[in-house]
Amino acid sequence: MKEFTVIFTLLVLISCSSQRIDRKINDSSWDSLASETYLRWGENRLDKVTDSKQSVVNCYKGQTKETLEIFKKEYLVRKEDPNYWLHIGNCYFIEEKWVKAEFYYRLALEEAKIPAVKSIALNNLGLISFKFEQWEKGKTFLNQSIALAPNFKVPRYNLSQLYLQFGLYDKAIDTLGHQVFRGHKDIDVHFSLANAYLYKGELEKSKMYFDSIPKEHLKREDIAATYALYHIRIGNLKLAKEIMDDRNRSGVVELTAISHKIEKILSQRMIEEQKK
């Protein structure tokens, strides 16, 4: 049980914090954060964006260098537009150049007059603080973001991930139970709730949220590994093994190592079952 707890804790930490896990969602009906962030948009959805945000969308398609060159040429015209600085910051964020991203988010914050824009900048500064393990500072930014735009889902979702990382499962559940999430479906919100209830030992509620996630997304390695732990917990070793065998390998070193540990536990448990 102790080994199970350690693996689960590490899995939550990696799942919440790693930007290298492919979280792309092609079905927009399962992306309740879609209006606030492009981070989980699949390529087909990104290709359909034709409005004034088109240039920043190219950063999400992997065309960061070219997009930043375009932004550089627009400086004289757009330097007083806080969205301009936000978009540049987003391009650097995608590239994981945290210091540069922070610089431009702070410029956006300085230029912004509209609470919603300030909220976005503060949310992003919170995420960067987490990259440097400045947890309290990041939490403060997120709470400020929520205060400025109470109807935004993203800062609340990000706050829930902080609570999950530190084992504050009731707080995570309360945060994701806010009215802004009601009536919406979301892969990562449902997965986070399945996580929280699994660790709390409320297995029926955990199952309810796992069962609600579309099958193709259950193959995502962090979700598959947690789902397999759930089935190990209830004694369904055969299904846990099938889930691990069928998972999509992420290539994230830390996550791969945890998956191998789970497979080792499964093998040992199955051998023990055969001896009975």
Q: Cα(177)–Cα(156) distance, rounded to whole angstroms?
A: 10
- pLDDT at residue 43 in the model: 82
- pLDDT at residue 45 in the model: 87
Same fold, 1-31+185-276 and 37-152: yes
Provide the 10 A C-beta neighbour count for residue 132: 12
**Token pair belonging to 165:** 């990382």
What are the beta bridge partners of residue 220? Answer: 248
Q: Cα(197)–Cα(181) distance, rounded to whole angstroms?
A: 17
CB 8 within 8 A of CB 166: no
CA-CA distances (angstroms) from residue 251 to 20, 69, 220, 237? Answer: 9, 31, 11, 25
Using the CB atoms, write b or e for 77-113: b if 16+ within 10 Å: eeeeebbbbbbbbbbbbbeeebeebbebbebbbebbe
Domain map (residue ranges) of the chain: 1-31+185-276, 37-152
Task: State whether CATH 3.90.79.10 applies to domain 37-152.
Answer: no
pLDDT in tens, 215-268: 999 999 999 999 999 999 999 999 999 999 999 999 899 899 999 999 998 998
Task: Give me the residues of the chain with pLDDT under 70, please.
Answer: 1-4, 6, 8, 15-19, 50-54, 276
pTM of the model: 0.92
For 1-31+185-276, give the CATH class: mainly alpha
